[in-house]
């Protein structure tokens, strides 16, 4: 197990290095082709050469390689890695530390993800297990229809419908029934409130989770059906164990391996969904910040946030790999 984890951690580190390098290449080529992003610092004003040079120096854009199209600019890359190692992710164009921005934005995104993950698990495990348990019966057909229906509504449609059709009447009703500051009124607030992050992120999180749950439901169903057909389930039944026990310890337990893997994969999908969700629900999170940074040509901020998102993703994958080994002894001893 120890060697397995070490191997996975090294692999994760290598992946991160590769991601940062590709990111660096992309931004470098963008700078070389589009001109210095330091210009964005001045907005509509036209800077003097001295002013421009000062800003370029401040953001590490003064290296002559940025003027040579096709030069991979390895020097600045190594410098940047050194800075990362010291926890320095640079500043945005307004001089605010990237780490500081992330520190305020990331907790909201993580809250969103937490709700999304819980929604997946509850819907996926609940409905998927029910569909597998009563295969071919009306419950199974109903659940499969529902999962197709969910797929037909992408996240932005769900959010639009919620925000413009349901949120206002629901929050009016909640405020008049439970009072302005009640928890229920906060749940249905159409936009994010930094003072009540959990309550206002709940409904968007559930909607984002719902949008991603369809594939999850089908996966849980398929993997449990495979377990039900397994001979070890027949053996467990031959021991006279109650059906509940058999389902829990031999069907659900065995099908948890592919399900956990899927959580890792769906997580990256949720990152994309988070950008849309945060944008539409005015949540101050990583997705919203990234969106603004790209629009504002704020290279340092884009690179910093994408790097941090890459770190989060690699860590999640690592956790999934370790959970995978913990759940399946055949992996552990391979």
Q: Give the nearer residue to another protein in terms of CB position, either 98 or 225.
A: 225
| Ordered DSSP codes for 304-331 | HHHHHHHHHHHHHHHHHHHHHHHH-HHH
| Ordered DSSP codes for 118-137 | HHHHHHHHHHHHHHHHTTTS
User: Does residue 330 interact with another protein by CB under 8 A?
Assistant: yes
User: Does residue 245 interact with another protein by CB under 8 A?
Assistant: yes
User: Residue ranges of the alpha helices (H) in the chain?
Assistant: 2-34, 49-58, 74-85, 98-133, 138-152, 155-161, 167-178, 183-187, 197-229, 231-238, 243-246, 253-280, 286-295, 299-327, 329-332
Radius of gyration of the chain (CA): 24
User: Does residue 3 interact with another protein by CB under 8 A?
Assistant: no
User: Does residue 302 interact with another protein by CB under 8 A?
Assistant: no
User: Does residue 236 interact with another protein by CB under 8 A?
Assistant: yes
User: Does residue 253 interact with another protein by CB under 8 A?
Assistant: yes
Task: Return the closest-CA partner of residue 21 out of 327, 306, 322.
Answer: 306
Q: Give the nearer residue to another protein in terms of CB position, either 269 or 328.
A: 328
* Distance in angstroms (rounded) separating the CA atoms of residues 196 and 172: 18
Specify the stretch interacting with another protein by CB under 8 A; choose among 68-76, 275-283, 294-302, 326-334. 326-334
Query: Using an 8 Å Cβ cutoff, are 294 and 36 in contact?
Result: no
Cα pseudo-dihedral 126, 131, 134, 140, rounded to 10: 130
Binding mask 306-325 for another protein (x = CB under 8 A): --------------------
Cβ at position 1, least distance to another protein in Å = 13
Q: Give the nearer residue to another protein in terms of CB position, either 88 or 328.
A: 328
* Distance in angstroms (rounded) separating the CA atoms of residues 313 and 63: 31
| Residue with the two structure tokens 């770190």 | 311
Question: In Å, how far are 165, 180, 182, 197 from 176, measured between CA atoms?
Answer: 18, 7, 10, 22
- Determine which residue in the list 23, 25, 40, 241 makes contact with another protein, applying CB under 8 A: 241
Query: Using an 8 Å Cβ cutoff, are 306 and 16 in contact?
Result: no
Cβ at position 137, least distance to another protein in Å = 11
Q: Give the nearer residue to another protein in terms of CB position, either 246 or 270.
A: 246
User: Does residue 257 interact with another protein by CB under 8 A?
Assistant: yes
Task: Return the closest-CA partner of residue 128 out of 273, 278, 228.
Answer: 228
Query: Using an 8 Å Cβ cutoff, are 174 and 188 in contact?
Result: yes
User: Does residue 141 interact with another protein by CB under 8 A?
Assistant: no
User: Does residue 333 interact with another protein by CB under 8 A?
Assistant: yes
User: Does residue 1 interact with another protein by CB under 8 A?
Assistant: no
Phi, psi of 91 (to 5 degrees): -125, 160
Binding mask 211-230 for another protein (x = CB under 8 A): -------------------x
User: Does residue 72 interact with another protein by CB under 8 A?
Assistant: no
User: Does residue 195 interact with another protein by CB under 8 A?
Assistant: no
- Determine which residue in the list 35, 82, 169, 329 makes contact with another protein, applying CB under 8 A: 329
* Cβ neighbours, 10 Å, residue 63: 16
- Determine which residue in the list 13, 82, 234, 265 makes contact with another protein, applying CB under 8 A: 234
Q: Give the nearer residue to another protein in terms of CB position, either 144 or 237.
A: 237
* Distance in angstroms (rounded) separating the CA atoms of residues 137 and 133: 9
Cβ at position 257, least distance to another protein in Å = 8
User: Does residue 238 interact with another protein by CB under 8 A?
Assistant: yes
Specify the stretch interacting with another protein by CB under 8 A; choose among 33-41, 124-132, 137-145, 240-248. 240-248
User: Does residue 247 interact with another protein by CB under 8 A?
Assistant: no
Q: What angle do CA 26, 30, 34 make, to 5 degrees?
A: 175
The residues of the shown chain that bind another protein, judged by CB under 8 A, are 230-232, 234-243, 245, 249-250, 253-254, 257, 327-330, 333
């Amino acid at each position: 197990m120890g060697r397995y984890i070490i191997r996975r951690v090294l692999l994760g580190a290598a992946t991160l290095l590769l991601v940062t390098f590709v990111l660096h290449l992309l931004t470098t080529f963008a700078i070389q082709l589009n001109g210095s992003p330091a210009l964005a610092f001045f907005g509509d004003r036209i800077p003097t050469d001295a002013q421009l040079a000062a800003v370029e120096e401040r953001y590490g854009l003064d290296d002559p390689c940025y003027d040579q199209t096709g030069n991979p600019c390895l020097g600045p890359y190594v410098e940047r890695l050194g800075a990362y190692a010291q926890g320095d992710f640079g500043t945005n164009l307004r001089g605010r530390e990237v780490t500081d921005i992330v520190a305020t934005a990331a907790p909201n995104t993580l809250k969103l993800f937490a709700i999304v993950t819980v929604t997946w698990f509850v819907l996926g495990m609940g409905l998927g297990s029910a569909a597998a348990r009563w295969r071919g019966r009306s419950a199974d057909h109903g659940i499969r229809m529902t999962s197709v229906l969910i797929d037909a509504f992408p996240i932005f449609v769900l959010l639009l419908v919620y925000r413009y059709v349901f949120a206002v009447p629901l929050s009016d009703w909640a405020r008049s029934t439970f009072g302005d500051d009640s928890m229920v009124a906060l749940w249905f607030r159409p936009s994010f409130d930094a003072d009540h992050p959990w309550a206002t992120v709940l409904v968007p999180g559930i909607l984002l989770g719902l949008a991603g749950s369809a594939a999850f439901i089908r996966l849980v169903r398929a993997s449990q059906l495979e377990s039900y057909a397994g001979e070890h389930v027949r053996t467990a039944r031959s021991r006279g164990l109650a059906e509940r026990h058999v389902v829990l310890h031999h069907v659900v337990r065995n099908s948890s391996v592919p399900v956990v893997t899927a959580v890792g994969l769906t997580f990256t999908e949720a990152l994309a969904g988070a950008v849309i969700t945060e944008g539409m629900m005015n949540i101050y999170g990583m997705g919203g910040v990234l969106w603004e940074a790209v629009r504002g040509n704020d290279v340092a901020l884009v690179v910093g946030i994408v790097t941090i998102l890459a770190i989060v993703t690699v860590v999640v994958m690592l956790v999934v790999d370790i959970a995978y080994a913990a759940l399946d002894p055949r992996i552990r001893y391979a």
